[in-house]
Amino acid sequence: MRVAVLADVHGNAPALEAVLAEVAREQPDRIVFLGDLTWGSFPAETLALVAPLADQAVFIRGNAERDLVAFYDTLEDDSSERVRWMVSRHTPEARDFLAGFRDSAVLELDGLGTALFCHGSPRSVEELVTEATPEDRMGELLAGVDEDVLVTAHTHVRYDRRVLDKRTLNPGSVGRPYEGSPGAFWALLGPDVDFRCTEYDVEATVARMRAAGEPRVEEMIELLLRPHSREEAIEHAEGVRFSG
C-alpha cells in the first residue's frame, strides 16, 4: 500500500488544495490526515476539500480537533475571541465529523512494513517528537509499539530517523511548516519515504487570510511568511517537558 500523509493543515485551504492536486496525480491507495485539520482561517473551505475523500482517507485526531469539539460543547462567555470565532465557523455537522476522528491507525506499507499513525505520540496527542528526542524518551513512548514505523505530526517539522529498531518520521506541515521556507510539506510512504514540498501562492493566501477575519491573524501570517527554522522549532519542542 502507498499512502500520502498530510499533517497540520491548520485551515490553510489554498495549501491543501495544491497538495491534493499533487496527491491525485500520484494515486496513492490511502490518504492519512494526521490531525489539526481545520483550526485556521478557512475551516469550511478545508472541510469542503476533504469531503470527497471520505472513502479513501483516514482522519487522525490532533489537539486542535480535541479542543475544538470541547469548546463547541462548552463555549463560555469569557472564551477568547479566537475560540469563539473558530467555533462559529464550524457547523454542527463539522463538529460531529471532527469528533469522529481516530486516535491512531495502523496500515501496512509497501517496502516499509506496518506503520502506526498518530498526532503527537502513541501516548499523548500533545507530546512533541523530533529527530533530536533523546533515546530514553523514545524508548518510553515506543513501549508497546509493535509496528515497524511510527508516523507522527504536531511539531510542524519533518524528519526521518531510525532509533531503537524503529523508523520514526514526521511528514511536516501542509499549512504552517517550520522549515525555514514557505511551501506545503507532506510525504508519500511506500516503498520508501518520499518527502514532498508543494508550492502554492502564499501571498495570495495571506490576502485571503486577512479578509477572512480570523482574530490574531497577523501572528499566523507572520509564521507563514517567515516560518521558524527547523533548528528553532526543534529547540522549542525539545524544551517542552512532557508531563503525561
The domain limits of the chain are 3-239
Which pLDDT does position 201 carry in this prediction? Answer: 98
With a cut of 70, which residues of the chain have pLDDT below it? none
Q: What is the pLDDT of residues 80-110, one digit of tens each?
A: 999 999 999 999 999 999 999 999 999 999 9
Cβ contact 15:200 at 8 Å: yes
Which pLDDT does position 243 carry in this prediction? Answer: 78
Q: What is the pLDDT of residues 59-70, one digit of tens each?
A: 999 999 999 999
Distance of CA 61 to the CA centre of its chain: 9
| CATH for 3-239 (3.60.21.10, 3.30.70.270, 1.10.10.2840, 3.20.20.80) | 3.60.21.10
Which pLDDT does position 75 carry in this prediction? Answer: 85
d(CA 67, CA 88): 14
Tally of CB atoms within 10 A around 70: 11
Give percent above pLDDT 70 in the chain.
100
SS3 for 106? strand
Which pLDDT does position 78 carry in this prediction? Answer: 74
SS3 for 212? helix
Name the maximum alpha-carbon separation found in the chain: 52
Which pLDDT does position 244 carry in this prediction? Answer: 73
Q: What is the pLDDT of residues 31-60, one digit of tens each?
A: 999 999 999 999 999 999 999 999 999 999
Which pLDDT does position 66 carry in this prediction? Answer: 98
